[in-house]
Amino acid sequence: MANIPADLRYTKDHEYVKRTSDAAVVQVGITDYAQGELGDVVYVDLPKVGAVFASGDVFGTIEAVKAVSELYAPLAGTVTEVNKALEGDPALVNRDPYGAGWMIKLRPKTAAELDQLLSNEAYKKQIG
Amino acid sequence: MLLTERQLEWELTREPAGRSGAANMTIDASLLAEAARAGRSFVRLYRFDPPCLSLGRNEPAAAQYDRAAIARLGLDVVRRPTGGGAVWHEHEVTYAVAASIATFGGLRAAYHAIHARLAAALQTLGVATALAPDRPTARPPDRRGSCFATPVGGEVLVGGRKLIGSAQVREGRAFLQHGSILLAGSQEMIAAVSREPQAASAATTLSKELRRQVTWDEVADAVVRAWGDELTPAALYRRLPPSTALFADPFWTWRR
């Protein structure tokens, strides 16, 4: 059973958004359900700090076993940090998707967009 | 997430003549784009001519393979849009399936469904194929080692050895899965151009299993017969890819 924490927000494409200690910045990664579906992650291709995305833009790709999948920006915003640890240890996404396996930190263009994302209950319903 | 498989109409192309690695990857990528744009579904059966070394999209190729040796041997080399490890394409039927993600659902479901169809096709030729268990007992292949070094869940095996090597990419609402159905030969070329010793290949071939020569047409016919849905001849790429620029570019091939 996948871990879907109540304090995060989700997209239908299996990204999550987590608030950080900086109120203007959120953490983005993929959900526990998504990492389980993908299998062992072997490579994560992430953007550069400063990259600007619209909501739904492709911000990177992830390769697991033999498949490359796109990663979508859950919110419009600017990348303030990328998780360099994934270069050496991409399996962090499998082991700790909501913690050490985070992907990017994003400064959202508008805070209101966050409220439009799925709650944990809505996301759970989607993944069945 | 795992949607029910729908009865679909697939557009089929058969290309026994063979093309370069860059041309083949350009066509596969264009099928993916067309599947994403228009929801069309494609099955393509093809081959490589000249024989070609293909690298996985994210393989650290510059560190792993001897580029000078590849040049010295005059090998065609291309980096695929899909994941996974290196493949030596020589004696094989290469397949590509591009369709909307909703066709088969999740990643593993698609891998299984396509391989089940291919396995059924090969069974009609008399090969006792089986699909690898979903969760492999060993870890999946690390970055070193060819595509055929270790089977992963859902791949087509004969007696525990891998007969088909496949890889996938998902973009937007569509996916491309392509792979090699080995007719004969070996994957030893990969070891020959590798900087470090490679894991022994766990591959087998149709000729080895059936103890006779197996032809490209024979396998292509079997796949078409066993596909299960309606296959209609594709109006061959209504818009042919404008050029092979990306996949012919050494910067892409050796980008990492």
Q: Least CB-CB distance to B143: which of A42, A64, A127?
A: A42
* 3-state DSSP percent of chain B in helix, strand and coil, to 5: 30, 25, 45
CB contact under 8 A, A39 and B108: yes
Has B147 been annotated as catalytic? yes
For the domain made up of A9-117, give the CATH fold.
OB fold (Dihydrolipoamide Acetyltransferase, E2P) (2.40.50)
Find the closest chain A residue to B172 by CA distance.
A70
Weakest-pLDDT range from A61-70, A108-117, B56-65, B131-140: B131-140
Weakest-pLDDT range from B67-76, B165-174, B209-218: B165-174
Burial class (CB in 10 A: 0-12, 13-18, 19+), B212: exposed
Burial class (CB in 10 A: 0-12, 13-18, 19+), B63: exposed
- Structural domain span for residue B69: 9-253
Structural domain contains residue B163: yes
Find the closest chain A residue to B155 by CA distance.
A66
Q: Which of A35, A126, A112 is nearest to A75 (CA)?
A: A112
Strand order in the sheet with B129-131: B129-131, B156-158, B161-162
Residue-wise pLDDT for B8-38, tens only, equals 789 999 999 999 999 999 999 999 999 999 9
Distance CA B250, CA B206 (A): 33
Weakest-pLDDT range from A49-53, B131-135, B170-174, B215-219: B131-135
pLDDT of B237:
54
How many structural domains are present in chain B?
1
Q: Which of B120, B134, B140 is nearest to B56 (CA)?
A: B140
Distance CA A87, CA B86 (A): 20
Distance CA A32, CA A74 (A): 16
B101 vs chain A: nearest CA distance in angstroms?
11
Distance CA B228, CA B40 (A): 17
- ∠ Cα B136 A93 B137 (to 5°): 10
Catalytic residue from among B147, B181, B206, B234: B147
Please give the average per-residue pLDDT across A36-43, as a whole number. Answer: 90
Structural domain contains residue B4: no
Structural domain contains residue B189: yes
Q: Which of A38, A58, A66 is best to mutate for the B interface (most B CBs within 10 A)?
A: A66
Please give the average per-residue pLDDT across A85-107, as a whole number. Answer: 97
pLDDT of B5:
47
pLDDT of B242:
65
Q: Which of A60, A81, A80, A77 is nearest to A112 (CA)?
A: A77
Strand-strand pairing, B129-131 and B174-182: unpaired
* Percent of chain A residues past pLDDT 90, beyond the cut: 86
Distance CA A93, CA B7 (A): 35
Residue-wise pLDDT for B117-172, tens only, equals 999 999 999 999 999 987 644 444 444 567 887 778 888 999 999 999 999 999 98
A73 vs chain B: nearest CA distance in angstroms?
13
Domain ranges (residues) in chain A: 9-117
Confidence of residue A4 (pLDDT cuts 50, 70, 90): very high
**Which of the given ranges, B49-53, B81-85, B109-113, has the highest pLDDT on average?**
B49-53
Q: What does the DSSP 8-state code read for residue B19?
A: B
What angle do helix axes B107-123 and B216-226 make, rounded to 10 degrees? 120
In Å, how far from its chain's centre is CA A121? 18
Q: To which residue do tokens 């990177």 refer?
A: A60
List chain B residues with CB under 8 Å of A67: 82-83, 107, 111, 167-170
Instruction: Identify each DSSP E strand in B109-215 by its residue range.
Output: 129-131, 156-158, 161-162, 164-171, 174-182
ipTM (interface pTM): 0.83
Structural domain contains residue B44: yes
List chain A residues with CB under 8 Å of B139: 40
Q: What is the CATH number of the domain that holds B158?
A: 3.30.930.10
Q: Which of B86, B93, B85 is nearest to B48 (CA)?
A: B93
**Is the CB of residue B167 less than 8 Å from the CB of residue B95?**
no
Distance CA B167, CA B185 (A): 20
Structural domain contains residue B145: yes
Please give the average per-residue pLDDT across B60-67, as a whole number. Answer: 94
Question: A14 pLDDT exceeds 70?
Answer: yes
Find the closest chain A residue to B135 by CA distance.
A39
Q: Which of B203, B227, B75, B81 is nearest to B150 (CA)?
A: B203
Confidence of residue B235 (pLDDT cuts 50, 70, 90): low
Q: Least CB-CB distance to A66: which of B166, B171, B172?
A: B166
Establish, for the pair of chains A and B, how many residue pairs have beta carbons separated by less than 8 Å.
65
Question: B4 pLDDT exceeds 60?
Answer: no
Structural domain contains residue B115: yes
Please tell me which residue, B235 or B247, carries the higher pLDDT value.
B247
pLDDT of A28:
98
Structural domain contains residue B2: no
Structural domain contains residue B221: yes
Interface of A with B (CB under 8 A): 37-40, 42-43, 45, 63-70, 127-128
Please give the average per-residue pLDDT across A108-122, as a whole number. Answer: 93
Question: B241 pLDDT exceeds 80?
Answer: no
pLDDT of B138:
42
Question: A84 pLDDT exceeds 70?
Answer: yes
Structure token digits, residue B70: 């590849």
Q: Which of A85, A83, A75 is nearest to A104 (CA)?
A: A83
